[in-house]
Amino acid sequence: MSRWIIAATAIGLGAVHALTTKLDPPQSTILARHAKDQEASATPMIDLFQMRLPKTLFQTPSLAEYAKSFAYSPVFSLERLLLKATLVAKDISVPDRFEVGDRLAAWRVIERLDDKHELLMAWGHDWTPINGTTYFKLVDEADSVKIQFGSGLMLPNGTSVNPVVMHLHGFYSRCLIFNTAATLLARQWMVSKQ
């Protein structure tokens, strides 16, 4: 039995890695621009991952639909519950539109560019000098839609993060985008059946 669990886990982890792509964040994105704006007081570390969703399976979602699928994905739902349990976030409800100022647990929407299909949320707390951002982007193409998920970690100048921690963070980001795609597919399928 345990061999089957190990094999299934290895296949699942391989699929997550194979279906997601790490990108260099273009300087034109609000993720990169926000990180650059923070350089005077912090050392920004940003990453960006992408997953291609074929239109034979997916309809092009709205930016809010994409962000809601992220929020309702099983992996992030667990993270929201942990944030509430540890009192980091009092309210873990999911906003309907993800407009500037809307909150999702410890995050607040700080910028939304509908014409570029980009959304940026920020998190941070008074009790820690570290803060960061979470980024969503949709790239609509003829035969597919690409969902992009990125994050920015703003460290106080002179500090660093262990490379192993950053590698684990990158893997977690890949799991989040993969899980978001599965949730998006399930949500679109449920709507189509109504």
Dist CA 44 CA 158 (whole Å):
11
Residue 9: predicted pLDDT: 67
* Contact (CB, 8 A) for 112 and 134: no
94 near 105, Cβ under 8 Å? no
Query: How large a percentage of the chain has pLDDT more than 90?
Result: 64
Q: What does the buried/exposed string (b/e) look like for 174-190 if buried means 16 or more CB atoms within 10 Å of the residue's CB? A: bbbbbbbbebbeebbee
What pLDDT is attached to residue 15? 77
Q: Is the pLDDT of residue 5 over 70?
A: no
Burial label for 61, CB within 10 Å (0-12, 13-18, 19+), is buried
The overall average pLDDT reported for the chain is: 90
User: What was the pLDDT predicted at 154?
Assistant: 87
Task: Compute the distance between CA of residue 70 and CA of residue 177 in angstroms, rounded to an integer.
Answer: 8
The more confident residue out of 34 and 4 is 34
pLDDT for the residue 7? 67
Q: What is the pLDDT of residue 141?
A: 94
pTM score, whole prediction? 0.91
The mean per-residue pLDDT over the stretch 47-76 comes to 95
Residue 109 pLDDT: 97
Whether pLDDT at 127 is above 70: no
Percent of the chain scored above 70 by pLDDT? 94
User: What CA–CA distance (Å, rounded) separates 61 from 114?
Assistant: 12
Higher-scoring residue by pLDDT: 12, 147: 147
Mean pLDDT of 19-27: 92
Instruction: Answer whether residue 14 shows pLDDT above 80.
Output: no
Any residues with CB less than 8 A from the CB of 140 and at least 6 apart, and which?
Answer: 60, 117
Architecture of domain 21-192: 2-Layer Sandwich (3.30)
Question: What per-residue confidence (pLDDT) applies to 115?
Answer: 93
Largest CA distance in the chain: 54
